[in-house]
Structure 1
Amino acid sequence: MPNETGALLYAATTSKPVRGAAVDVLNGSTIVASTTTDGNGAYSVTVPPSTLLIVRVKAQMSQGGAGPSWDVTVRDNTNSNAIYAMETPAFSSGISASLVRDIHAPSGWGGSSYSAPRVAGPFALLDTVYTAQAKVLSVAPSTAFPLLRVFWSENNVPGGNNPAAGQIGTTFFSNATDGRAIYVLGKEGVDTDEYDASVVAHEWGHYYQSAFSRDDSPGGSHAMTDLLDRRVAFSEGWGNAWSGIALGRSNYTDSVGAGQASGSNVNLTAGLTSGAGWYREASIHSILWNLNSQVGFKAIHDTMTGSFKNGIAVTSIHPFAAAFYAAAPASASNLSALLAGQAINPAADPFGGSETNNGGVSTALPMYNQATPGATYSACVINQAGTGNKLGNFAYLRFTVPTARNYTISVSGASATDPDFVVYHGGQIAASDGLGSSESAVVALPAGESVLVIDDFNNTSQSTAASPSAQTPTCFTVTIQ
């Protein structure tokens, strides 16, 4: 249980039911009965009399059929991706009419460190997913959740890139070719996240975006003090807000360090009193958290899974607002006030054409420039707010083509640059990431409007240590023909 600083308080440990988990009753290696625990952690099966049995509970939730469905497993990425389980000692079923066998997952905490197997960890993770799913089911009871694997190990550490050895870098969501997954840190005394329900629910929020909505974020590091690219700010702000929405909490906590005795605690309600804007994850999470408090989750869910999902504009707070106004017009004033309170223009324009807050970054506005196929256009980026995924690192162009066919998109810059670009039309439809100062690709474009997003992969043309006034943009020549 986290305290007000986000640290774990082992003295305040409480037992919780293992909800929705798969239960097998075995005689040796033979399964004689199977069931699932209910919302209270209870289960009931019929077994043969006078038989030697064990009860095994797996860190797995599954339900098939035509109605709501899901398949979630918690696995050890450092042990051939095996599913975690716990089991009772062997016992005889006897000849009585009923028999009770409870099973408890101990934390393994010995008072100052972990001194026994950390059996409870995987089931804590499963419980957070159960809670997140339940929130969605409360407004969309027939939801079919795509397969999700959660990978956790007590060997999972920050840094590196070898999950089989526990080197996962950080707790994160992945939608790779092998399916949707959440990787969770677990290294004692460094960073453990199995009991940091806010962190796990945040990553499940990205799973939600991937499964039911849309997320155009390029990812990368982010902090509350950062001026972020619009896609990153919305994605991370959504994840923070969703954690509170799902868990019924107004704060976001994360433990870290020796004895898990340090941490952070973020008030999701507060937002920012200065420096607010569409480029701040704290602004976004405060808007979404307070919006949920005022109007409930259904309107937000309808927005995330509705026109926001397939719009032309990339994912950010402006297309969310436009989609929300359409999905929940009776609550439009609630969102407008929250946007204005965080220095975001509340107009119903997915492209943010009326936005006046540039965060002090020279190239941030207009949010989209217009490009004309067949003509030459200049697109500029700047590292004024930092590098990688920060405000100004990307240039956004809107363009319209009359017919569906192959078009050649070319972006070129000075010799020290390495331009890359992504094309969106209701989601990403093409990307280019070659080397050199000139980038060109043939893209099959549908008729109508699309968005071109350009960045400089090198991201070294301007020093982030320089004062903003001393920095000048790096510009590229763009053609679409």
Structure 2
Amino acid sequence: MMYFYRLLPFLCLSFVMACSGSGSGGGAAPTASDLDNGSVETCYDVRISYTASNQLKNICTTREFGGFNGLGVSRFMRFSLGSAATVSINVSRTSGLDPADPDLVLYRNGQIIQMADSVQFNDEAMTTALAAGNYVVLLNEYVYSAFNNKSQGSTAVSIKQNETVIPGLQKKLVSDNNIQSKNDSTCDTTNEIAVSGFALFERVTPSFIPASGVSLDYPGAQIQPIQQAVVEVICNNGVYSSTISAADGSYSLALPSGQQSIVRVRAQMLQTGTPNWNISIVDNTTSGQPVYVMDSQPFISTVDQAGMNLQADSGWDNNFLRYTGPRVAAPFAILDSVRKAKDKVLAESASLSFPELKINWSVNNTTSPLGTLESGAIESSFFDGNEIYLLGAADNDTDEYDEHVIIHEWGHYFEDFFSRSDSIGGVHSFGDILDPRVVFGEGFGNALSAMITDDPLYIDTNGRQQNDGFTINLENNICMNAGWYSECSIQSVLYDIYDADNDMQDSVSMGFSPVFNVLQVAQKNTAALTTIFSFIKALKDQNPANANAIDALTSGQSIDPILDIYGTSQFSNDPGATDQLPVYEIY
């Protein structure tokens, strides 16, 4: 079963190179039929030359492990310069796919220094002046990428302009990123009273019963507080007063006496100063991406109003076994899951500035590939490098109550803005043998969701009546195709580092702080590409007393003890028929 796309707006390096390297010239472009010519490997002579060094090695890419993000589609090389030099890299095909279209990417500390992606078949080259330092070169076979990826697309779409706003769940277009002040309202401020109450939502939890499988447990839904959300008094269509709901969902606001008003709860967390954030749940299928809000009924009062409670219900009817009411709770459930992740990170570093985040959810967001993001055809929940998109189509796939899915995608946001991710994303399935950059990013997302919720059972619900789905038990350390190229192995190692339970090779209980510390500094600045190797090396360096126990963890997943950021010590686990070791060829 496939799960999770992570299609970045620039797609991924391999696909960027595919797009730019797919023009005409040098003969006919490879076609899909060329991929079935029995050629598993395409090999190249790769020469890297600079002052006092001129080395030639034969390096092979492979399509043995599937799509563009499969292991071996991209091969890594590295070299170090003791002083500034002019470096030349030349690639020439020696065997395999013909014609081939190799591309090169040169990195320093995760930053692209130069790309070579010409349309000349079978050869590629670059020459550039470089400062002293450590460099990584990526060799990628374009044709493998071209026929195994799907662009998110940006074609035009007709958007509904006159959507009927359903009672209880409103949508308000935000004009700026700040809480509006009283001068936004024209109501008389001479006589003020107070309004107070609680903002609440109905939390539906995913359930897994071995005998019956996965489902959303609607009968077991619980009422929970809406925490840290913007709450407003609206008078004459303007904001009269505003506040932030407390941990118990309570709020208290000034109210104009004798004037018609409403209390509005926004699906938005907003704080200025230090720390700061602006996180909102918006509708990607309505023009302008309006923020979801919940409104009270209009009222007029001349005395204080206590007990003005607003509750967002799920809209599910347990008798008819379907949604019969507006799904008011959904945006607030999403907001609450992200709040948990944000607060976990803030506990480690209290002065963080969170880049603005929009989370796009709609009852129209479906797994269909036929359409655009604006129409709801998002295919799967994903992070696009700036915003998160979540599924919401009933009887298809809804993710608003799947906390692990939401936090997984938020984990990609965290990586991109507070750490670093070199993952190229893409489709990934159980047991896949994948690019080590991809498995670290996806394994981290799964592990983080278990860390934030303190629940190792990852549940993703879908299907008719949300009565189907799958589970991943991160405490179960048995992985298909275990190794440094396995998402299952990476998530198992990362979660076992965090959790307090010891099992099998797991004698480590380090908590979240060491994980956060590595991600925020060492992983962000590593000279290698971000993989389990760069993470574990830094973790062991910073926690030497746990080094042997960490080695036991990785060995339990068929990963040889990690001695450096490049995985140089990997000798015993080289999957498949094609040679994938060393992970980085050294020049």
How far did 1:215 drift? 0.9
Cα displacement string for residues 289-348 of structure 1 (whole angstroms, at most 9, x for unaligned residues): 110111010100000111111112111111111111223333323322211111111232
Give the structure 2 partner of residue 324 of structure 1: 539
Cα displacement string for residues 245-292 of structure 1 (whole angstroms, at most 9, x for unaligned residues): 011111100001000001111111112256311111111111111101
Do the aligned partners of 1:198 and 1:254 also contact (CA within 8 Å) in 2? yes
Do the aligned partners of 1:185 and 1:193 also contact (CA within 8 Å) in 2? yes
Partner Cα distance (1:59, 1:273) in 2: 38
Q: Which amino acid aligns with 1:260?
A: Q
Counterpart pick for 2:299 among 82, 91, 96? 91
Alignment of 1:50-449 (within 5 A): 50-65=258-273, 67-80=274-287, 81-96=289-304, 98-111=305-318, 112-160=321-369, 161-175=371-385, 180-272=386-478, 275-293=481-499, 294-356=509-571, 357-371=573-587
Partner Cα distance (1:355, 1:290) in 2: 21
The 1:129/1:173 distance shift into structure 2, 3 A limit, reads same
The 1:186/1:50 distance shift into structure 2, 3 A limit, reads same
Cα displacement string for residues 220-257 of structure 1 (whole angstroms, at most 9, x for unaligned residues): 11112111110111111000000000111111000010
Partner Cα distance (2:451, 2:301) in 1: 44
Q: Which amino acid aligns with 2:557?
A: Q
Q: Which amino acid aligns with 1:23?
A: V
Cα displacement string for residues 96-147 of structure 1 (whole angstroms, at most 9, x for unaligned residues): 4x52210011111123111111111111110111010011011112221111
Q: Which amino acid aligns with 1:93?
A: S
How far did 1:48 drift? 2.7
Q: 2:444 aligns to what SS in structure 1?
A: helix
Give the structure 2 partner of residue 31 of structure 1: 239
Q: Which stretch of structure 1 is more off in the superposition, 119-128 or 107-116?
A: 107-116
Partner Cα distance (1:261, 1:314) in 2: 40
Do the aligned partners of 1:173 and 1:181 also contact (CA within 8 Å) in 2? yes
> Which structure exhibits the higher relative contact order, with contacts defined as CA atoms closer than 8 Å and separated by 6 or more residues?
2
How far did 1:82 drift? 0.7
Cα displacement string for residues 28-87 of structure 1 (whole angstroms, at most 9, x for unaligned residues): 21221100101111111122323321000011001010x211100100001121100011
Partner Cα distance (2:422, 2:214) in 1: 30
Partner Cα distance (1:159, 1:51) in 2: 47
Q: Which stretch of structure 1 is more off in the superposition, 330-339 or 67-76?
A: 330-339
The 1:140/1:127 distance shift into structure 2, 3 A limit, reads same
Give the structure 1 partner of residue 206 of structure 2: 2
Partner Cα distance (2:440, 2:479) in 1: 18
Do the aligned partners of 2:432 and 2:481 also contact (CA within 8 Å) in 1? no
How far did 1:152 drift? 0.4
Q: TM-score, normalised by structure 1?
A: 0.74
Unaligned runs of 5+ in 1: 372-481
Q: Which stretch of structure 1 is more off in the superposition, 159-168 or 14-23?
A: 159-168
Q: 1:320 aligns to what SS in structure 2?
A: helix
Do the aligned partners of 2:568 and 2:583 also contact (CA within 8 Å) in 1? yes
How far did 1:6 drift? 3.3
Partner Cα distance (1:262, 1:320) in 2: 35
Q: TM-score, normalised by structure 2?
A: 0.61
Partner Cα distance (2:307, 2:353) in 1: 33
Q: Which amino acid aligns with 2:303?
A: I
Q: 2:241 aligns to what SS in structure 1?
A: strand
Q: Which amino acid aligns with 1:77?
A: N
Do the aligned partners of 1:76 and 1:152 also contact (CA within 8 Å) in 2? yes
How far did 1:7 drift? 1.4
How far did 1:2 drift? 1.1
Give aligned pairs, total.
365
Give the 4+ runs in structure 1 shifted more than 4 A. Answer: none
Partner Cα distance (1:108, 1:364) in 2: 52
Unaligned runs of 5+ in 2: 1-204, 500-508
Do the aligned partners of 2:282 and 2:291 also contact (CA within 8 Å) in 1? yes
Partner Cα distance (1:363, 1:94) in 2: 79
Q: 1:47 aligns to what SS in structure 2?
A: strand
Partner Cα distance (1:195, 1:352) in 2: 38
Do the aligned partners of 1:233 and 1:284 also contact (CA within 8 Å) in 2? yes
